[in-house]
Amino acid sequence: MPARPALLIPRKLSPAVLERARRDYDVILNEDDHVFSPDELVAACQGVDAVLPCHSERFDAATIAALPDRLRIIANHSVGVDHVDLAAAAARGITVTNTPDVLSDATAEIAILCMLGAARRGSEGDRMVREGRWNFWSPAFMVGRQVTGRRFGVLGMGRVGQVTAERARGFGMEVHYHNRTRLPDHLEKGAVFHDTVEGLLQVSDVLSLHCPATPQTTGIINARTIALLPERAILVNTARGALVDEAALIAALASGRLFAAGLDVFRDEPGGNAGLAALDNVFLLPHIGSATFETRDAMGFRALDNLDAFFADRTPVDRLV
């Protein structure tokens, strides 16, 4: 009987995913679930055929160059792959996969939560009640922005962007979007397409970011582009922290140029940004867009589906390299 592939799982996955992985692979775990340093990651990859990482494991060019020849596939437990140098992986002949589709609903829910939390001053109100400071009421007390009937801008109309747009329609919002290519009618569903980022920003009362972090999109939200948004607009980011110049965002929030922001992602993770955390008009979450029981199972199973196909000499459905 041929030996089963050896699989490194660097982070703690759901019990159902681990059970299936152990059924079909010789699994090596990171028992205390800490984030590997680059040297630890390379050391842990010795003697394995595959690795099933999360976005916390960074496979930059130097790390990939140090990987053993035996390792043939990086099957990511994420849809984003900005933590993997795809060109370096391709040069080494290492297959890279991701897990699209399965986290769209969960991430869209968090985007809507961030929008509402920002618009209705959720973070400020929560702290006030928890700290025992709620001792006053007036018609002028804690007044926020109503999103019903507003224009909802989507930057990056992929799977998550499309689902988030559908949820926004439930609030009677008018959907606008920018994408590299215009969607067909059955996916566009009446949303207004803008062929430039600038055109989208000018009409976005709420701007929700759903594009990947690439060299072209890093820092796409900055002082210049924020200035294009309508006065007192709301920014929502559930995609990647690298999309936003956080210093420019802090300045716009502190000045009142933006009404509020709802953020699930940051440039520095874990940890976030102390300057943003100090502002009352920011609703903050610790990168939990896909963190539901159902989605965690689905992401793990999708990664294992890709591994199963690869080791059966089939092309994984979600192969990027």
- The pLDDT assigned to 1 comes to 42
Instruction: Please identify which residue in the block is written with the tokens 């630890």.
Output: 40
- The pLDDT assigned to 3 comes to 86
Domains of the chain: 6-102+293-311 (3.40.50.720), 104-284 (3.40.50.720)
* 239-260 pLDDT, tens digit each: 999 999 999 999 999 999 999 9
- Report d(CA 307, CA 90) in Å as an integer: 17
Under the banding of pLDDT at 50, 70 and 90, the label for residue 2 is low
Q: Does residue 269 carry a catalytic annotation?
A: yes
* 17-36 pLDDT, tens digit each: 999 999 999 999 999 999 99
* 294-308 pLDDT, tens digit each: 999 999 999 999 999
- Report d(CA 259, CA 256) in Å as an integer: 6
Is pLDDT above 70 for 228? yes
Question: What is the DSSP code string of 4-40?
Answer: PPEEEE-S---HHHHHHHHHHSEEEE-TT-PPPPHHH
Cis upstream peptide for 270 (omega within 30°): yes
Average the pLDDT over 144-163 and give the result.
Answer: 98
Residues 6+ positions from 19 with CB-CB distance below 8 Å: none
**Given 120, 194, 287, 296, the catalytic residue:** 287
**Given 145, 167, 269, 319, the catalytic residue:** 269
Taken in order 175, 236, 114, 180, is the CA torsion positive or negative?
A: positive
Q: Does residue 166 carry a catalytic annotation?
A: no
What is the reported pTM? 0.94
* 95-130 pLDDT, tens digit each: 999 999 999 999 999 999 999 999 999 999 999 999
**Given 240, 246, 296, 302, the catalytic residue:** 240
Q: Does residue 287 carry a catalytic annotation?
A: yes
Average the pLDDT over 195-212 and give the result.
Answer: 98
